[in-house]
Amino acid sequence: MMMLCKIYAIFVRQLFLFKGNPVRLVAIFLWPLLDIVMWGFINRYLSTFGQATFTFANVILGAIILWDFFSRIMHGLMTGFLEDVWTQNFVNFFASPLRLKEYVAGLVVTGLTTGVAAFLINALFAGLAFGYDIFRVGLAVLPFLVVLLIFGIALGLLMTAIILRFGPAAEWLGWPIPFALSVFAGVFYPVATLPASLQIVAKAIPPSYVFESLRGIVNGDPTAPLLNNFLIGAGLALLYLVAMSLFLFMVYRRNLKNGQLARFSAE
């Protein structure tokens, strides 16, 4: 059984890292805010061309806010692990009674906290600057946020396992993952826009069901299969979460057995 005090200790340590170096907050809040500003003004410019019946703000700004929430969850977990690798502190944790699942749970809480904080600030800024209300779709957005949360944690665990297996240089694989996935997930356009071969990939990615559903809500499509999309998306996200958790623990046990875990105290 996990000890909550140990999980909290990992979480508090990450908070102190932000307190000690506030510049770290730039990576969490600055880039999505710049995206919101850019696309917000692009929307204003395009809306000057006649009487538009379609507003890009409903799709683009909402997609940016939701996709950044997913990215913050994934990168928050991965970065929390990297902080301990960079400071050569990762192995030291396990000289204590701390267990891997408690350490990972602490990183998940950190990623969740930064993700929710970024989501709220982005939503507030989009509302104040461009009058966009992401909650106009109602409470339907909440279960789909959970799908993005679970999938973000799963990919964060995957990248943690890859870094643990191949070393800190593998971190460069993690940063572009959200951008690469956005091509297939239909974040800014319907999945039907993709070629048939890429649509097969999209159907295996939980976010594609999230954004197809939210796009249907925004467009007022009564035929949008919201419940079906949620169940499929949530099922896939949970499947990925279980698989990536097992993969991480397998890599950890392998490194522990062959002594490769010690290299993280000397990288």
Question: In Å, what is the CA distance from 77 to each residue of 85, 136, 265?
Answer: 13, 30, 20
What are the residues whose beta carbons fall under 8 Å from the beta carbon of 142, sequence distance 6 or more? none
183-234 pLDDT, tens digit per residue, is 999 998 899 999 999 999 999 999 999 999 988 887 777 677 889 999 999 9
Alpha carbon dihedral 35, 37, 39, 44, in 10-degree steps, equals 180
How far, in Å, are 159, 168, 182, 191, 214 from residue 188 at the CA level?
25, 32, 8, 9, 11
- Range of 17-21, 123-127, 137-141 with top mean pLDDT: 123-127
The C-alpha atoms of residue 267 and residue 259 are separated, in whole angstroms, by: 14
The C-alpha atoms of residue 3 and residue 178 are separated, in whole angstroms, by 32
Torsions phi, psi for 266 (to 5 deg)? -135, 10
Going by pLDDT thresholds of 50, 70 and 90, the confidence category of residue 244 is: very high
Q: What is the pLDDT of residues 133-163, one digit of tens each?
A: 887 777 778 899 999 999 999 999 999 999 9
Q: Is the pLDDT of residue 2 over 70?
A: no
d(CA 14, CA 117): 15
* Burial class of residue 24 (count of CB atoms within 10 Å of its CB; 0-12, 13-18, 19+): middle
Domain boundaries defined on the chain: 4-265
Closest CA to 244 of 165, 145, 143, 146: 165
CB 7 within 8 A of CB 102: yes
Considering only CA atoms, which of 83, 143, 142 is closest in space to residue 107? Answer: 83
To the nearest 10 degrees (0 to 180), the angle between helices 226-258 and 100-130 is 140
Residue 267 is predicted with a pLDDT of 47
Torsion over CA: 161, 164, 165, 166 (sign): positive
CA distances from 209 to 95, 110, 226, 233 (A): 43, 26, 9, 6
- Read off the pLDDT band of 53 (50, 70, 90): very low
